[in-house]
Structure 1
Amino acid sequence: MVKQNQSGRKDTGMRVGFIGLGNVGAKLAGSLIRNGFDVMVRDTDEAAAKSLLEGGARWAESGRALAEACDVIVTCLPSPKVSAQVLEEKDGVLDGITPGKIWLEMSTTEAADVQRLGAQVEARGGIAMDSPVSGGCHRASTGNIAIFAGGRREAFEKVLPLLTTMGRQVVHTGKLGSASVLKVITNYLAGVQLLSTGEAFMVARKAGVDLAVAYHAIRVSSGNSFVHETEGQLILNGSYNINFTMDHEVKDVTLFDDLGKSFGVPLELSPVCVAAMNDGLKRYGPRVWSSQVVKRLEDDCGMDLRAPGFPEYLVDHEPEGKGAEVVVEHRRGYE
């Protein structure tokens, strides 16, 4: 049973450090704080931590200080390069790793890189896991996002109370790096679905079909997807505000393309997806919302994809609830 102390914090026996307070990271850290965990935070922009500090989090002056003070060190950063820097720099996380500490990499990164950094963590007696999330910022806000977790089973069971607080469905994917592979795969699928959703809407519009009708017809059909139900609404509103930027979209689909090519897979759709995302970045810039890649079609066709009644941004209306591990039947093993 998890007890609460007089400060309202949960007595889990784990002090949690969280580095990276961007669109997703701040929301994940917020779920831990909201649910009473003892949390220390760090970001290159201290202003990003303001609401978390007001909510009870403590500030760390360096990665090393955070790692020394905490039992679990979470990183949620924009690229493999930044993750490596945060761990390996002077007074970085690695300098504070001692036996028994757990590094939880929640960034979207390369399996090879998380394995390389994980080896350095384990050389110091620590434990490494990769635990990226999937499902959008709106579900990160409510603790209802999905989480993949790769690493040793005993480590997974130790951090499961944290994972089921930050997320609703948690999948233990296998060895270290397996979660990062699956995250890259799901992000690629979402990218393809985003492009196909835009094309479907444009063909419907050109054919004279009401786009609100098209949206709901697709939603109840075999053509439905998570992306259609979420980003599809933001396209029809015109805000495109998915809280995820074009440069990160390009990074993610490129990670998949590079991974597939490294295994000799004769990819066909992936290069098309990468080229379309790069064209969107070239036309509209790196910091526009990734959904705006669909604007390429609007500009090329001289026709918008607007429909009344769709939201400017997404809100998760599902009540926050305790997460649980997704039990995978017939799996061959955890490693």
Structure 2
Amino acid sequence: MKVGFIGLGNVGGKLAGSLLRNGHDVTVRDLDPKTAQAFLDQGAHWADSPRELAEAADMIITCLPSPAACSVVMESDDGVIAGLSEGKIWLEMSTTDDGELRRIADRVLATGARALEAPVSGGCHRAATGNISIFVGGDRESFEQVLPILTTLGRRVLHTGALGTASVLKVMTNYLATANLCAVAEALTVCKKAGLDMNTTYEAIKISSGNSFVHETESQVILNGSRNISFTMDLVLKDVGLFDTLAKNLEVPLEISPLLMDIFRDGQERFGPREWSSNIIRRLEESAGVQVLGHGFPAELTDDEPEEEGYEVVVTGRG
């Protein structure tokens, strides 16, 4: 199956790299041709437009920073939809709004092509090694058709149900990760102010009931001082905003989500929209007059688990 990949950013570039590393025929497209050069050097083909890419590929993957960006790539005159035909598959791997996803999917389906969503979760370091988790929404037949490629891109692949379900679950998990990040930032700052050793504090949290995936990953780059988690404050606001809007539309009166939005709006105003999200702790450092740093922690995360063939996660007891 020939794969077209649009969007070679922090996550998309690593996913496209997994495809090339595992021998797939890949055509790429990005707004910045310089970004694509490393992939071309590895054997990828280049498309001059999304339409050209869609015409050349059997499966078209989009991994873009916002619903608006996806709309442009998909719906412009030389967009993906213009190059679709019966039998092709569009796989949306962006973190996006479920309603917008279904709207564009309807246009894809009208061409005779199929539509799936497949947002990822687990961090850029796991995307780089093909060990990331993938949520997939869409019909079961299309899911099974692309599963061999999905198990190249990720280790754990979960079919979540109809189109839109994966997008809802993705923004939910990003909301939880953000809540964990803010809680970890407060915990580390308080312990630093109390005079505790930060390496000891890290290990204490890691072996306790207060542990989380966010602590095991983001706390390391926080304590290094780089705060480089390959994810920025504007993207946090986008993702948590999607979750917050979903809750409002469903008339669920949330309390924590609006507070997270306020925290990151303030962080973005102080440090800029492209500041690393983990540096949200800097708000607390400045207020408390401390620097929350440890010793020997990495500046960037790497996945130390070997790349393994992925598999479908089977849900038990699902009705």
TM-score range, shorter chain: over 0.9
Q: CA offset at residue 101 of structure 1?
A: 0.8
User: Quick one: distance in 1 between partners of 2:154 and 2:177?
Assistant: 19
1:150, distance to aligned residue in structure 2 (A): 0.3
Distance 1:200 1:280 in 2: 18
Tell me, in whole angstroms, the C-alpha distance in 1 between the residues paired with 2:37 and 2:234.
26
Residue 6 of structure 1 aligns with which residue? none
In structure 2, which of residues 112, 116, 128 is the aligned counterpart of residue 125 of structure 1?
Answer: 112
Deviations 1:269-290 (A, max 9, x none): 1111110011110000011111
Distance (Å, rounded) in 2 between the aligned partners of 1:26 and 1:203: 37
Alignment partner of 2:3 out of 16, 21, 42 = 16
Amino acid at match of 1:33: L
Letter in 1 for 2:183: S
Please state if 1:286 is matched with 2:276.
Answer: no
Q: Are 2:266 and 1:269 aligned?
A: no
C-alpha distance after superposition, 1:112-152 (max 9, x if no partner): 00100000000111111110001111111100011000000
Deviations 1:230-271 (A, max 9, x none): 001111111000011111111111111111111000101111
- SS of the counterpart of 1:172? strand
Partner Cα separation in structure 1 for residue 199 and residue 130 of structure 2:
30
Report the TM-score when normalising by structure 2.
0.99
SS in 1 for 2:134: strand
2:195 is aligned to 208
Paired with 1:46 and 1:189, the residues of 2 have a C-alpha distance of 35
**Does the CA-based 8 Å contact 2:193-2:288 persist in structure 1?**
no
Is the counterpart of residue 46 in structure 1 residue 33 in structure 2?
yes
TM-fit CA distance, 1:202: 1.1
- Which secondary structure state, in structure 2, belongs to the residue aligned with residue 309 of structure 1? coil
Amino acid at match of 1:102: I
Residue equivalent to 2:298: 311
In the alignment, what sits opposite 1:87?
74
User: Which of 143, 156, 162 lines up with 1:156 in the alignment?
Assistant: 143
Q: How many angstroms apart in 2 are the aligned matches of 1:305 and 1:92?
A: 47
Q: How does 1:195-274 map to 2 (within 5 A)?
A: 195-274=182-261
Residue 193 of structure 1, aligned match among 167, 180, 184 = 180
Offset of 1:306 from its aligned partner? 0.5
Q: What displacement does 1:46 show?
A: 0.7
Distance 1:43 1:154 in 2: 30
Contact 2:135 2:159 in 1 (8 A): yes
The CA distance in 1 between the partners of 2:244 and 2:285, in whole Å, is 26
Aligned to 2:64: 77
Task: Name the aligned partner's letter for residue 135 of structure 2.
Answer: F
- Once superposed, what is the RMSD of the aligned Cα atoms? 0.6
Cα distance, 1:295 vs. partner?
A: 0.6
Supply the distance in 2 between the matched residues of 1:201 and 1:26 (Cα, whole angstroms): 32
**Superposed counterparts of 1:94-173, under 5 Å:** 94-173=81-160
Alpha-carbon distance between aligned partners in 1 of 2:280 and 2:270, rounded to the nearest angstrom: 9
Q: 1:326 aligns with which of 287, 310, 313?
A: 313
TM superposition shift of 1:90: 0.9
* C-alpha deviation, 1:209, in angstroms: 1.6
Q: Distance in 1 between matches of 2:281 and 2:146?
A: 39
Contact 2:226–2:299, Cα closer than 8 Å, also in 1: yes
Give 1:41 shift: 0.4
Partner SS state of residue 61, structure 2: strand
Long gaps (5+) in structure 2: none
- In the aligned structure 1, how far is the partner of 2:195 from the partner of 2:50? 56
Q: Name the amino acid aligned to 2:250.
A: F
Residue 12 of structure 2 corresponds to: 25
Q: Equivalents in 2 of 1:215, 1:151: separation in Å?
A: 40
What is the DSSP-based 3-state SS (H/G/I as helix, E as strand, rest coil) of the residue aligned with 1:165?
helix
Return structure 1 stretches of 4+ with deviation > 3 angstroms. Answer: none
% same residue = 59
- Unaligned 5+ runs, structure 1: 1-13
Give 1:106 deviation, angstroms.
0.2
Q: CA deviation at 1:208?
A: 1.9
Give distance in 1, aligned partners of 2:149 and 2:266. Answer: 39
* Offset at residue 312 of structure 1 (A): 0.7
